[in-house]
């Protein structure tokens, strides 16, 4: 049976969902993930859904479930890389994933999971150049 | 004796040129060229082609469906074209309808000349002719109306496109100045534009400015909340700004709750956005 890989990145776990999820796969993912959170002591879980074109209510519920399980194990869940069409669909379905944090991409998601919000990103930007400076 | 329409058909065939000349005169008198918007040659061409199509249709015989029947297909196609082009050129309904209705006069004149001593035939054929022209006139007006509605619909779409710009205020800070009432269709456009902009500019904050929204009722509030929820799913926070005092009061009276950060002005919202992203704005010391 195929499984969704779970990668460890520092203190976070990264799950990248690229295929349609069915019941069995979802349950397997939940089991694997909770085991890995406990084993690694991860502080956050990032779920990358940038590869998904279509999201239905089942998928929305699965994300909510994963978030609830992770929260019990003291890890934040961040959904990253949602496409505009997917976001609109979820909102129209009435699923706004209230228990889940969101971020535009994996990089932002990492910053969110790390100790301070956006700090890592801001440092990067400051190093990049002077375009952040106030022109006035 | 022939039916009235057969007589009409022969009339159109044999007296075509006389009809055409008189019709054109009447059209010009009535100002159907729209003050030079349609060239004389073009008008003449339209008249001639229509007379031909009418003659063909009458010869083929009219069934119970009247001008909606297949015999009138080419005549209808011509009227379609005439009516559409006039609607696009901004002719008034009267000017457009005149094109068909002014044919009645010449036809009746010819009829009278031909059957000068037969009042019954004149009135009978005249009545059938009149009904036919009326139907054609009504058809013209329907097409005219439809064309105008198309123009209105297209303009609405364009306005919706134009009035939902997404502005970049700073690195990662977007502004969405909303102007006009938010209905479902516009909310869709607004949402798509905003979400695409969030992806394109990897924005983390979006300020929705509703200074230009005249009223906020429960429906508009729901649309706003949907937009905000969608932006949040993409990982961007939203700040609402520009709620006018009257609107704030109305919202409270209606029991509308926007469960988001809101600021009175766009400037305040931008200041908050700076603060959230760890930026400060300082004034340079005055030059000594």
Interface predicted TM-score (ipTM): 0.72
- Overall residue count recorded for chain A in this entry: 136
8 A C-beta contact, residue A118 and residue B266? no
Substitution target from B196, B229, B233, B238 for chain A, most A beta carbons within 10 A: B233
* pLDDT at residue B288 in the model: 57
CB contact (8 A) between residue B192 and residue A88 = yes
With an 8 Å Cβ cutoff, is A105 touching chain B? yes
Structural domains of chain B, with CATH: 4-156 (1.10.490), 167-276 (3.30.750.24)
Which residue of A84, A96, A105 is in closest CB contact with B192? Answer: A84
List the alpha helices (DSSP H) in B2-103: 4-14, 16-29, 40-60, 73-88, 93-101
Who's near B275: CB < 8 A, 6+ residues apart? none
Tokens of A3: 């499984």
How far is Cα B199 from Cα B203, in angstroms, rounded to an integer?
Answer: 7
**Helices A84-92 and B184-200 meet at what angle, rounded to 10?**
140
* pLDDT at residue A115 in the model: 52
8 A C-beta contact, residue B151 and residue B103? no
pLDDT at position A132 over 70: no
How far is Cα B88 from Cα B112, in angstroms, rounded to an integer?
Answer: 37
* pLDDT at residue B238 in the model: 94
* pLDDT at residue B35 in the model: 66
With an 8 Å Cβ cutoff, is B267 touching chain A? no
Four-CA torsion A97, A99, A100, A101, nearest 10 degrees? 120
User: Distance (Å) from the C-alpha of residue B284 to the closest C-alpha of chain A?
Assistant: 8
Closest CA to B276 of B237, B250, B242: B237
Average of per-residue pLDDT across B127-147:
89
* pLDDT at residue A120 in the model: 44
CB contact (8 A) between residue A91 and residue B233 = yes
* pLDDT at residue B2 in the model: 56
* pLDDT at residue A118 in the model: 40
- Per residue in B41-78, pLDDT (tens digit) is 888 888 888 888 888 888 887 766 777 778 888 888 88
* pLDDT at residue A49 in the model: 92
Closest CA to B198 of B173, B219, B180: B173
8 A C-beta contact, residue A30 and residue A65? yes
How far is Cα B204 from Cα B171, in angstroms, rounded to an integer?
Answer: 9
Tokens of A125: 């930007």
CB contact (8 A) between residue A104 and residue B230 = no
* pLDDT at residue A133 in the model: 47
pLDDT at position A121 over 50: no
More confident: A112 or A119: A112
With an 8 Å Cβ cutoff, is B228 touching chain A? no
Local confidence band at B266 (pLDDT 50, 70, 90 cut-offs): very high
Chain B CB contacts of A109 under 8 Å are: 235
Query: Rounded to whole angstroms, what are the CA distances from A108 to A35, A79, A120, B203, B246?
Result: 25, 11, 9, 11, 39
A46 class by beta-carbon count within 10 Å (0-12 exposed, 13-18 middle, 19+ buried): buried
* pLDDT at residue A116 in the model: 43
pLDDT at position A45 over 70: yes
CB contact (8 A) between residue A80 and residue B279 = no
- Per residue in B242-264, pLDDT (tens digit) is 988 888 888 888 887 777 899 99
Q: What is the mean pLDDT of chain B?
A: 85
How far is Cα B190 from Cα B169, in angstroms, rounded to an integer?
Answer: 17
* pLDDT at residue A117 in the model: 40
Average of per-residue pLDDT across A82-91:
91
Tokens of B174: 């977007």
Substitution target from A99, A119, A121, A134 for chain B, most B beta carbons within 10 A: A134
Local confidence band at B122 (pLDDT 50, 70, 90 cut-offs): confident
- Per residue in B272-288, pLDDT (tens digit) is 999 999 999 888 887 65
Q: Which residue ranges make up each domain of chain A?
A: 6-128
- Per residue in B184-233, pLDDT (tens digit) is 878 888 889 999 999 999 999 999 999 888 888 888 888 888 899 999 99
Local confidence band at B267 (pLDDT 50, 70, 90 cut-offs): very high
Local confidence band at B87 (pLDDT 50, 70, 90 cut-offs): confident
Average of per-residue pLDDT across B14-20:
84
Computed on alpha carbons and rounded to an integer, the radius of gyration of chain A in Å comes to 16
User: Distance (Å) from the C-alpha of residue B248 to the closest C-alpha of chain A?
Assistant: 25
* pLDDT at residue B97 in the model: 87
* pLDDT at residue B33 in the model: 63
* pLDDT at residue A39 in the model: 93
How far is Cα A4 from Cα A28, in angstroms, rounded to an integer?
Answer: 8
Task: Please tell me the CATH code under which domain A6-128 is placed.
Answer: 3.30.750.24
Residue carrying the six token digits 């229509």: B50
* pLDDT at residue A79 in the model: 93
Return the sign of the alpha-carbon dihedral for residues B164, A105, B204, A53.
positive
User: Distance (Å) from the C-alpha of residue B24 to the closest C-alpha of chain A?
Assistant: 57
pLDDT at position A128 over 70: no
Average of per-residue pLDDT across B14-39:
79
With an 8 Å Cβ cutoff, is B112 touching chain A? no
Q: Which residue of B has its CA nearest to A49?
A: B234
Substitution target from B225, B234, B238 for chain A, most A beta carbons within 10 A: B234
């Amino acid at each position: 049976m195929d499984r969704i890989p779970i990668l460890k990145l520092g203190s976070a776990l990264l799950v990248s969902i690229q295929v349609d999820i069915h019941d069995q796969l979802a349950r397997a993912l939940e089991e694997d993930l909770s085991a890995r959170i406990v084993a690694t002591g991860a502080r956050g879980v990032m779920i990358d859904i940038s590869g998904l074109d279509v999201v239905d209510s089942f998928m929305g519920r699965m994300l909510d479930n994963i978030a609830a399980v992770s929260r019990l194990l003291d890890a934040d869940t961040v959904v990253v890389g949602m496409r505009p069409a997917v976001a609109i669909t979820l909102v129209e379905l009435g699923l706004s994933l209230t228990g889940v944090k969101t971020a535009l991409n994996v990089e932002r998601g990492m910053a969110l999971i790390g100790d301070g919000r956006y700090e890592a990103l801001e440092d990067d930007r400051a190093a990049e150049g002077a375009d952040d400076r106030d022109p006035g | 004796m022939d039916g009235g329409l057969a007589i009409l058909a022969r009339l159109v065939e044999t007296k075509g040129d006389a009809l055409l000349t008189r019709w054109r005169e009447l059209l010009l008198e009535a100002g159907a060229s729209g003050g030079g918007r349609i060239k004389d040659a073009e008008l003449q061409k339209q008249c001639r082609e229509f007379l031909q199509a009418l003659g063909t249709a009458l010869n083929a015989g009219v069934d119970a469906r009247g001008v909606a029947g297949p015999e009138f297909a080419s005549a209808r196609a011509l009227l379609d074209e005439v009516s559409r082009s006039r609607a696009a050129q901004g002719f008034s309904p009267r000017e457009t309808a005149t094109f068909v209705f002014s044919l009645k006069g010449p036809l009746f004149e010819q009829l009278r000349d031909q059957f000068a001593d037969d009042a019954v035939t004149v009135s009978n054929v005249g009545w059938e002719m009149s009904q036919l022209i009326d139907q054609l006139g009504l058809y013209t007006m329907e097409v005219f109306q439809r064309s105008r509605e198309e123009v209105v619909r297209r303009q609405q779409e364009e306005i919706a496109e134009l009035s939902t710009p997404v502005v970049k205020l700073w690195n990662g800070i977007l502004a969405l100045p909303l102007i006009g009432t938010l209905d479902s269709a516009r909310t869709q456009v607004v949402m798509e534009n905003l979400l695409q902009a969030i992806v394109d500019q990897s924005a983390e904050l979006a300020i929705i400015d509703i200074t230009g929204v005249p009223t906020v009722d429960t429906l508009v509030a729901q649309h706003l909340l949907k937009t905000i929820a969608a932006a949040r799913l993409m990982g961007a926070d939203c700040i609402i700004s520009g709620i006018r005092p009257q609107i704030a009061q109305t919202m409270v009276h209606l029991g509308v709750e926007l469960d988001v950060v809101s600021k009175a002005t766009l400037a305040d919202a931008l200041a908050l956005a700076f603060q959230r992203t760890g930026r400060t704005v300082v004034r340079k010391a005055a030059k000594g």
